[in-house]
C-alpha cells in the first residue's frame, strides 16, 4: 500500500519525498501510518519547504526554509486524535536533549488554518525506552 498521505500541491509532495530532512521524512511516515491505523486520519501535508519571503509573510521562525519542518492539516480532525498523535510523537522522540522545551511536534490551533507542526534538529533522536 502507498503511504497514507496527501499533499496540498505536487511541489510539496516533491519536497517531501526528495528535499526535506530524511529523519523528518522518516518520522512523518511513521506517524502518518499511526494516525491512519489509530484514527483513520489520512495526513494532508500543507507546507514543507518555504522561501525566506514566504516564511516571513507567515511570520515563521525560518525552520521551514531549512527543510527541517512540515505542517499537517488538523482543522478537519477531532482534538482527541490530534492530541493522541502529538503526544505520542513527543513521548517517543526528543527534539534536542540540550533544550527540552523544544518539541518535535506541536499543535497550532489558530483560525481555520489549524495544523500540526513537525520539526527536527541535528540532535533529534528516539528517546531511550525504560522497558
Residues making contact with Zn ion (CB under 5 A):
69, 71, 117
- Beta carbon nearer to Zn ion, 37 or 83: 83
Place of cell 483513520: 40
Distance between CA 82 and CA 62 in Å, rounded?
24
Give the shortest CB-131-to-Zn ion separation in angstroms.
32
In the complex, what is the shortest distance from the CB of residue 71 to Zn ion, in angstroms, rounded to a whole number? Answer: 4
Residue number of the CB closest to Zn ion reads 117
Q: Name which of 89 and 129 has its Cβ closer to Zn ion.
A: 89
Give the pairing type, strands 105-108 and 69-73: unpaired
- Answer for the pair 94, 46: CB distance below 8 angstroms, yes or no: no
Nearest distance from C-beta of residue 60 to Zn ion, angstroms: 7
The neighbouring-strand residues paired with 118 are 70, 105
Amino acid at each position: 500500500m502507498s503511504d497514507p498521505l496527501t499533499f496540498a500541491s505536487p511541489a510539496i509532495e516533491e519536497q517531501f519525498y526528495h528535499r526535506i530532512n530524511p529523519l523528518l521524512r522518516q518520522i512523518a511516515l511513521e506517524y502518518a501510518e499511526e494516525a491512519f491505523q489509530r484514527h483513520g486520519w489520512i495526513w494532508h501535508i500543507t507546507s514543507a519547504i518555504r522561501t525566506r519571503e514566504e516564511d516571513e509573510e507567515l511570520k515563521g521562525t525560518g525552520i521551514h526554509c531549512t527543510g527541517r519542518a512540515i505542517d499537517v492539516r488538523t482543522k478537519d480532525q477531532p482534538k482527541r486524535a490530534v492530541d493522541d498523535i502529538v503526544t505520542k510523537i513527543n513521548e517517543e522522540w526528543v527534539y534536542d536533549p540540550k533544550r527540552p522545551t523544544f518539541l518535535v511536534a506541536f499543535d497550532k490551533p489558530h483560525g481555520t488554518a489549524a495544523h500540526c507542526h513537525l520539526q527536527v534538529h541535528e540532535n533529534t533522536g528516539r528517546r531511550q525506552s525504560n522497558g
